[in-house]
Amino acid sequence: MRKLLYLLLVATFCSHPFQSFAQDEKPSPVNVKAEFRVDFQGDYVDGTTIEANTGFKGKYLNLILFGDISRSFSYSYRQRLNKAHKDQTFFDATDWVYLTYTTPNRQWALSAGKQVVGIGGYEYDRAPIDLYFCSEYWNNIACYQFGASLTYATKSGNDKLMFQACESPFRANAHGLYAYNLMWMGSYKWFSSLYSLNMMEYMPGEYIYYVTLGNEFRFGRKAKLQLDIMNRAAEGHSFLFEDFSVMGELSFGIGQKFGAFGKVTYDTNKSGVMADYCVMPGTDITRVGAGVEFYPLPKGDRSVRMHAAYSYTFGTNGNVEAPVLLDKQSFFTVGLTWKIDIVSLTKKIIK
């Protein structure tokens, strides 16, 4: 039954599949964009330099293609050109590639391809190129998988509900593992949500369950608070508050050219059960930091961005083989990002 459901819904939904056209508006069949970010960074643990993570780093080089084939069909593709992949698995470096069919009333969408796994939370949802330091959970989740989704949007467009069946983020541990995700995306004047219920297979027939509450509170036009609360549980331990993460970021704009933020993440796993491969048992670790951004181009153009950020980490990481966050870890980064529109073509709508 599980495999049948998966095959029936071999589709993907990636962030925003709904687009509405005016009666005479023309879709754009071909759009090509490029993104690049380079940093100079330093990584230190109790005063000792981590050489492999210090110095100039080419962080991201992304190629993005997307367009509207007709009023009903659209596509999107993002390839990470700086990410290694095996010869037979080119898709390892593909973040997503999917085709979406949207009904004429714009309320239902069905997509197919590789997708972002439907897990709630704003740290998780944001593009990696726009993040400077993150939680232990974020650093260990394999968030792009092949799968399926069906999305319903209310007539107002304020709420979307998505059901998704996809490959499990933990499929590296065993073949034929799947995940099932239910997600609510809300958008209101001062509040938005990315909430999810997730059931993910981490070993054959064994599941870990998520409840994720992603909240964004907006204060005026230039300030916002993103607060994510994620609880994880598997068989053999209490459901609440043994394995969870909290991520919070307060950001605000200063004029048209500057922005600043402060961020805190906390990951803990006291379950004693080896089911969570993102935040290992024995973890209790906190990361705090802040940063600034500068956009040098005029008239609010944000195609070019400069940044500087610093974070400090303290606590215990239960991942003894490949930990990301470490006790007494200091990390700084300064860098430059630019995003370029390479091609944008339009044509008549195919009716």
Summarised one tens digit per residue, pLDDT across range 189-237 is 999 999 999 999 999 999 999 999 999 999 998 999 999 999 999 987 7
Which whole number is the average pLDDT over 60-65? 95
Residue 172 pLDDT: 83
267 band by pLDDT with thresholds 50, 70 and 90: very high
- Measure the CA–CA gap between 64 and 4, rounded to whole angstroms: 32
Provide the terminal-to-terminal Cα distance of the chain, rounded to the nearest Å: 37
**Least trusted range by pLDDT, from 8-12, 51-55, 302-306:** 8-12
Q: Which residues have CB under 8 Å from 220's CB, separation 6+?
A: none
One-character DSSP codes across 193-218: EEEEEEEEEEETTEEEEEEEEEEEEE
- What is the predicted pLDDT for the residue at 92? 84
Tell whether 192 is covered by a domain: yes
The partner residues of 185 in beta bridges, in order of sequence, read: 160, 194
Instruction: Retrieve residue 230's tokens.
Output: 């994620």
Mean pLDDT, residues 73-80: 93
Q: In the numeric block, which tokens belong to residue 281? A: 């048992």
| 66: containing domain | 2-345
pLDDT, residue 299, reads 86
pLDDT in tens, 124-167: 999 999 999 999 999 999 999 999 999 999 999 999 999 999 99
- pLDDT value, residue 66: 92
pLDDT at 261: 98
The answer as to whether 42 is a domain residue is yes
pLDDT value of position 184: 98
In a domain? residue 215: yes
Looking at per-residue pLDDT, the higher value among 245 and 173 belongs to 245
Per-residue pLDDT at 88 exceeds 60: no
pLDDT tens per residue, range 299-332? 889 999 999 999 999 999 999 999 999 999 999 9
| pLDDT higher at 24 or 271 | 271
Q: Which two tokens stand for residue 224?
A: 């916002």
Q: Quick one: what percent of the chain has pLDDT higher than 90?
A: 79
The tokens describing 331, both together, are: 């990390």
Residue 75 has pLDDT above 70, yes or no: yes
Question: Which helix (H) or strand (E) is 253 found in, with range?
Answer: strand 243-254
Distance CA 139, CA 312 (A): 16
pLDDT score, position 89 = 67
- Contact at 8 Å (CB) between 338 and 62? no
Predicted local distance difference test score (pLDDT) of residue 235: 85
- Residue 350 inside a domain? The answer is no
* Residue 111, domain CATH: 2.40.160.10
Quote the pTM value. 0.88
Neighbouring CB atoms inside 10 A of 88's CB total 7
Task: Please say whether the beta carbons of 308 and 291 come within 8 A.
Answer: yes
Tokens matching residue 342: 């390479």
Q: Half-sphere exposure of residue 293, counting CA atoms within 13 Å on the CB side? A: 22
Q: Which helix (H) or strand (E) holds 5?
A: helix 2-8
Q: Is residue 221 assigned to a domain?
A: yes
pLDDT at 192: 98
pLDDT tens-digit readout, 238-262: 888 899 999 999 999 999 899 999 9
**Has residue 9 got a pLDDT over 60?**
no
How far CA 83 is from CA of 61, 62, 64, 247, in Å, comes to 8, 9, 14, 26
The count of structural domains within the chain is 1
> Residue 27: what pLDDT?
56
Three-state DSSP class for residue 90: helix
In 270-346, the DSSP E strands lie at: 284-294, 304-316, 329-345
Q: Which of 332, 261, 335 is nearest to 305 (CA)?
A: 335
pLDDT value of residue 6: 38
Domain assignment present for residue 351? The answer is no
Q: In sequence order, which ranges of 65-221 are alpha helices (DSSP H)?
A: 122-125, 136-140
d(CA 79, CA 92): 9
Residue 247 lies in a domain: yes
Task: Write the CB contacts of 108 (distance below 8 Å, at least 6 apart in sequence).
Answer: 102, 150, 151, 152, 153
Region 77-91: mean pLDDT is 75
Q: Are 250 and 259 in contact (CB under 8 A)?
A: no
